[in-house]
Amino acid sequence: MKLVAFTVRNYRSIVEAYKLSLDNYTVLVGPNNEGKSNLLKAVVLSLNLLTSPETSEGKDPFSCNGLKDIKSSGVFGVFQVSGNRGSPTHGGFQMIMRGMVERRKRSIERRLNGPITQGFSQPMLSASNIHFELSERTRAISHGGIGLIHQLVREIGLAEAIDRGVQVLKIHLPYHESDHVLNLAYNAICEGRCLEDIELRRNDEVFLDALGTQRIPDPTTAGDFCRRFRCRGPIDRLQDAFDEARRVVWAKQPEAFFAQATIDMDGHLVATAGECKQGMDIAYDGTWGYHPLLVSLANTGEVLRVVNRPGNRPSHEGAAAECDRAIALCRRAGFRKILLRGDTDFSQSEHLDRWDADGVQFHFGYDATTNLKEIADNLPKTAWKKLVRPPRWEARTGERRRPDKIKQEIVCKREFEVLKLKSEEVAEFAYQPTKCKKTYRMIAIRKNISVEKGEKRLFDEIRYFFYITNDHPSTPAEVVFSANDRCNQENLIEQLSNGVRAFRAPVDNLFSNWAYMTMTALAWNLKAWWALRLPEDGRWAEKHRKEKQTVLKMEFRRFVNYLVRIPCQILRSGGRLIYRLLNWTPWLGVFRRLASELEC
């Protein structure tokens, strides 16, 4: 069959190209962005479908979405391609994309897993005669995943919510409040470690084109914007704007997502070497700086609230008010149960009755006071049960030989005094705190600890740990494990400190640094929302659900490496901003699923 003419209607940038004649050699002439490449893509798409026995959906290729009235007539082979203008996600295009991805995947697998053909006479890294040239037409960025994040921001209405809720600029010349907030968040996502790294993005013309902007605020302007926050009110409204967008993401989750919201709280010391930063103070351990409070959602790892405080303030200060805000947010979103968790600093007994009456459950650590130890000592032996903790992980392979414990050998040889846990027992009793009018469950853990020096066992020591709760259906062991799971928030604090680098104090006072922490921590929330927007339905629902949880639990750096640092060519065609992927990664399938979900 010889192709002599074809017609294209409503495909990408082409409205209609009617019966274009073809000869042995056909030349397409026209200015840039007129659709020459799209004509060729239409031909390739149709020929691929005509020669394929079936589409990826298992249907006749002539009936797939986006392709209609393909006609062939003897030796002439005249055909017509029609589709939704500007919609690159129809079946044929998806089939071509899958083919390209599979070819790149096979290519890298052959290089990494196939036989070595380079030879062994010289080192593998043998590139030579290297020259550098400046590309005239090809324009690319290393962090191509920023485009998908920006599309997510647009879909959930985050920029609009910020501009509605936060008015700290009298006039917009030219930046709006959302531009400044996203500038700081995107800097962290693109591996910026400080305000000065914004200058790298600001001088990258392709990065600016990728976000559709002429310019972005420079580091000095970004710092000045943080200093516009001179009191608590605008910062609270900024976090309320984040919550507005957050609820849009939550609304798209399955029903099981709303079974229970687990809210964790903790404090963290942010040290600073500055001597003139207003609001800083000296902490209990001699650290100069600030003591921000973090309230987070354990289900997804999202940051719900950040409250900056002087370094000498207690951990629980202001925590009850922020918990009330988080509870109200989760209730409006549709969560059926609310659970609060915190360590001993957060067992705020004056609020327990109020939370209990409001139907909120809590698992709080409680100080091991003298009266509680006496009660535990006087419990009958039958009240104590052995606490069996679940294994930390499940081995997927056979048992392997464990290496020698070098640290333990050194400790034993030098006769350092060490504590070793021998056993744990759990019991419970009713207890009414002084500031409460109700009685609650007090869970006690008795730890038998051996004090050893070298190979000698000196004596045994009993230590008590207590947890207060209004959770009656759970067993004492389940309450203990839930309270211990709160420790995972320490991993979140580590990510915010050294991954996103939000827990820093680069500006000059308490409120401006609070604003900086809040805006930079948005980068972590964007990662969580990225994962939550992944669809988990269809034939591969279980696989997609596991991928979604994996992305949610990813460290920030790993997320950036796999799903943001994707080299992309940036170009415009037919009024569309195109990110052309230049490389294959193992997570490209997950990336493409979200791109399809966001229709980009």
pLDDT tens-digit series, residues 207-245: 999 999 999 999 999 999 999 999 999 999 999 999 999
Tokens of 97: 């994309």
Per-residue confidence (pLDDT) for residue 61, from 0 to 100: 39
Overall average pLDDT of the 391-397 stretch? 76
- CA separation for the pair 374, 444 (Å, rounded): 12
Assign 367 to helix, strand or coil.
coil
Q: Are residues 520 and 444 in the same domain?
A: no
Query: In terms of Cα–Cα distance, which of 217, 204, 212, 205 is closest to 172?
Result: 217
Per-residue confidence (pLDDT) for residue 52, from 0 to 100: 54
Assign 551 to helix, strand or coil.
helix
Q: Are residues 360 and 462 in the same domain?
A: yes
Per-residue confidence (pLDDT) for residue 123, from 0 to 100: 86
Q: Are residues 156 and 218 in the same domain?
A: yes
Amino acid at the residue 581: L
Assign 263 to helix, strand or coil.
strand
Q: DSSP E strands: which ranges in 30-169?
A: 79-82, 140-141
- Strands 338-342 vs 261-267: parallel, antiparallel or unpaired: parallel
Pick the range with the lowest mean pLDDT from 21-30, 246-255, 450-459: 21-30
Average pLDDT, the chain: 88
Tokens of 448: 């038998």
Give the domain-ending residue among 96, 121, 151: 96
User: Percentages helix, strand, coil for the chain, rounded to the nearest 5?
Assistant: 40, 20, 40
pLDDT at 294 over 70: yes
Q: DSSP E strands: which ranges in 183-271?
A: 261-267, 270-271
Tokens of 48: 């691929």
In a domain? residue 80: yes
Q: Are residues 412 and 520 in the same domain?
A: no
In a domain? residue 558: yes
Write the burial class of residue 227 (CB in 10 Å: 0-12 exposed, 13-18 middle, 19+ buried).
Answer: middle
Confidence of residue 454 (pLDDT cuts 50, 70, 90): confident
Give the domain-ending residue among 423, 448, 473: 473
- CA separation for the pair 268, 287 (Å, rounded): 11
pLDDT at 584 over 90: no
In a domain? residue 358: yes
- CA separation for the pair 319, 299 (Å, rounded): 19
Tokens of 105: 């995947």
Q: Are residues 159 and 63 in the same domain?
A: no
Per-residue confidence (pLDDT) for residue 71, from 0 to 100: 35
Per-residue confidence (pLDDT) for residue 53, from 0 to 100: 45
pLDDT at 60 over 80: no
Decide: 192 and 127 in contact? Cβ < 8 Å. no
Confidence of residue 540 (pLDDT cuts 50, 70, 90): confident
Helices (H), 251-358: 319-333, 349-357
Q: Are residues 145 and 209 in the same domain?
A: yes
Per-residue confidence (pLDDT) for residue 1, from 0 to 100: 59
Per-residue confidence (pLDDT) for residue 132, from 0 to 100: 87
- CA separation for the pair 551, 336 (Å, rounded): 25
Query: In terms of Cα–Cα distance, which of 328, 336, 329 is closest to 259?
Result: 336
Per-residue confidence (pLDDT) for residue 51, from 0 to 100: 59
**Domains in the chain: how many in total?**
3
In a domain? residue 192: yes
Decide: 465 and 387 in contact? Cβ < 8 Å. no
Q: Are residues 453 and 563 in the same domain?
A: no
Confidence of residue 587 (pLDDT cuts 50, 70, 90): very high
Sign of the four-CA dihedral 28, 29, 33, 34: negative
In a domain? residue 275: no
Overall average pLDDT of the 467-495 stretch? 95
In a domain? residue 560: yes
- CA separation for the pair 214, 226 (Å, rounded): 22
Give the domain-ending residue among 96, 126, 152: 96
Per-residue confidence (pLDDT) for residue 600, from 0 to 100: 82
Pick the range with the lowest mean pLDDT from 204-218, 335-349, 398-412, 561-575: 398-412
14-21: strand order across its sheet = 14-21, 5-11, 79-82
Share above pLDDT 90 across residues of the chain, in percent, rounded to a whole number: 67
Per-residue confidence (pLDDT) for residue 69, from 0 to 100: 37
Provide the b/e sequence for 540-565 (b: ≥16 CB within 10 Å). eeeebeebbeebbebebeebbbbbbb
pLDDT at 594 over 90: yes
- CA separation for the pair 292, 266 (Å, rounded): 9
pLDDT at 337 over 90: yes
In a domain? residue 178: yes
Tokens of 81: 């391609």
Question: What residues are paired with 581 via a beta bridge?
Answer: 568
- CA separation for the pair 443, 464 (Å, rounded): 10
Sign of the four-CA dihedral 551, 555, 561, 565: positive
Decide: 298 and 489 in contact? Cβ < 8 Å. yes
Query: In terms of Cα–Cα distance, which of 267, 477, 442, 276 is closest to 369?
Result: 442
The domain in which residue 444 lies consists of 344-387+407-473
In a domain? residue 450: yes
What are the DSSP calls for 154-195, one per residue? HHTTHHHHHHHH----SS-SS--HHHHHHHHHHHHHTT--SG
Q: Are residues 518 and 456 in the same domain?
A: no
Q: Which residue has the tokens 């910062």?
A: 235
Q: Are residues 144 and 227 in the same domain?
A: yes
Share above pLDDT 70 across residues of the chain, in percent, rounded to a whole number: 91
